[in-house]
Amino acid sequence: MSNEEEKKQPDAPPDRAADAESGAVESTVAKREMVAAEPEPAQPIAKAEEPALVRAAYEHPLAIRITHWVAAISLFVLVASGLRIFRAFPSFGTKIPEKVLLDIPKSLTLGGWLGGALQWHFTFMWFFAVSGVVYVVYQVVSGHYRTMLFTLSDIPGVWPMARHYFFFGPKPAATGQYNPLQKLAYTSTILFGALALLTGIVLYKPVQFSWLAFLFGGFHLTRVWHFAAMCGFLAFIPGHLIMVVLHGWANFYSMLSGWKREPEYQE
């Protein structure tokens, strides 16, 4: 148990502060008590003056928060520059004849032209790849993945949660840090990320990674999968942002500070 999670003993005398981190708080408490009870400093007279305790949870370890934000920024850059790259050949068919599958407005893109977009893409792909690999390795090694990995036992909980979100059904009781629908969404993003990364490797080096190209059905089809991975993220992100807004500041702040005030779940 880290000292972040250690439960502070409100009744413990000030000199028994075991936790170095809480030293400052202990001393202010001590000072206040001395002022309030000058004649008999040793007596804990005023129970009412004990500060009220707040329920809190350390939800997101530092590695998760860093990789979350690096990946979020990278995704923004990769999607915007990727759409600019797609504009250069907005089709999955043949070059001759070429059909415009999707005309993406320039204003939604990054890089100014194909070469500029490629520079953004080829720079942030490294950030995205590294943050993704660090994230997955950390989740597995630390065991923290148990809070978010969607498993078979989560399946029955998906529909009640979807009914609550989309059809105003009753709110299912909170069971853990994340509900089954959240787990499904977060687990999906890992799959989208893995797909984006692997197909990206093929598009970048189709000859050196010809075996990987073969797995995705060849170079041409890999470009479709790469686009599909982006669509997966584009499906996830709006819902994710709406949920963050609906659940308020404490929820958002916890991805910055790790700590969530008054979490809605128990245990």
Q: Which of 31, 32, 122, 245 binds another protein (CB under 8 A)?
A: 122
- Please work out the total of residues on this chain that contact another protein, with binding judged by CB under 8 A: 64
Q: Interface with another protein by CB under 8 A: which range of 152-160, 166-174, 218-226, 230-238?
A: 218-226
Binding status of residue 31 toward another protein by CB under 8 A: no
Structure tokens at 196: 């984006």
Q: Which of 7, 16, 47, 99 binds another protein (CB under 8 A)?
A: 7
| 260: enclosing H helix or E strand | strand 259-261
Q: Tell me whether residue 195 or residue 213 sits nearer to another protein (CB atom).
A: 213
Instruction: Look at phi and psi of residue 258 and say left if phi exceeds 0, alpha if psi is from -120 to 50, else beta.
Output: left
Cβ at position 192, least distance to another protein in Å: 20
Query: Cβ neighbours of residue 239 under 8 Å, at least 6 residues apart?
Result: 185
| DSSP state, residue 47 | G
Cβ at position 185, least distance to another protein in Å: 22
Binding status of residue 176 toward another protein by CB under 8 A: no
Q: Interface with another protein by CB under 8 A: which range of 111-119, 136-144, 160-168, 191-199?
A: 111-119
Q: Is 19 helix (H, G, I), strand (E, B) or coil?
A: coil
Binding status of residue 206 toward another protein by CB under 8 A: yes
Residue 259, φ and ψ in degrees, nearest 5: -95, 135
Binding status of residue 173 toward another protein by CB under 8 A: no
| DSSP state, residue 68 | H
Binding status of residue 134 toward another protein by CB under 8 A: no
**Site track for another protein across 229-258, x = CB under 8 A:** ------------------------x--xxx
Of residues 48-87, which lie at the interface with another protein (CB under 8 A)? 51-58, 62, 65-66, 69-70, 73, 77, 85-86
- Cβ(179)–Cβ(148) below 8 Å: no
Q: Which of 34, 45, 46, 88 binds another protein (CB under 8 A)?
A: 88
How many Cα neighbours within 13 Å face the side chain of 158?
A: 10
69/47 Cα distance (integer angstroms): 43
The burial of 109, by beta-carbon neighbours within 10 Å (0-12 exposed, 13-18 middle, 19 or more buried), is given as buried
Q: Tell me whether residue 71 or residue 181 sits nearer to another protein (CB atom).
A: 71
Structure tokens at 133: 């690999």
165/163 Cα distance (integer angstroms): 6
- Cβ(244)–Cβ(182) below 8 Å: no
Residues that bind another protein (CB under 8 A): 4-8, 10, 21-22, 24-25, 28, 51-58, 62, 65-66, 69-70, 73, 77, 85-86, 88-89, 91, 94-96, 98, 114-116, 118-120, 122-124, 126-127, 204-208, 210, 219-220, 223, 253, 256-259, 261, 263, 266-267
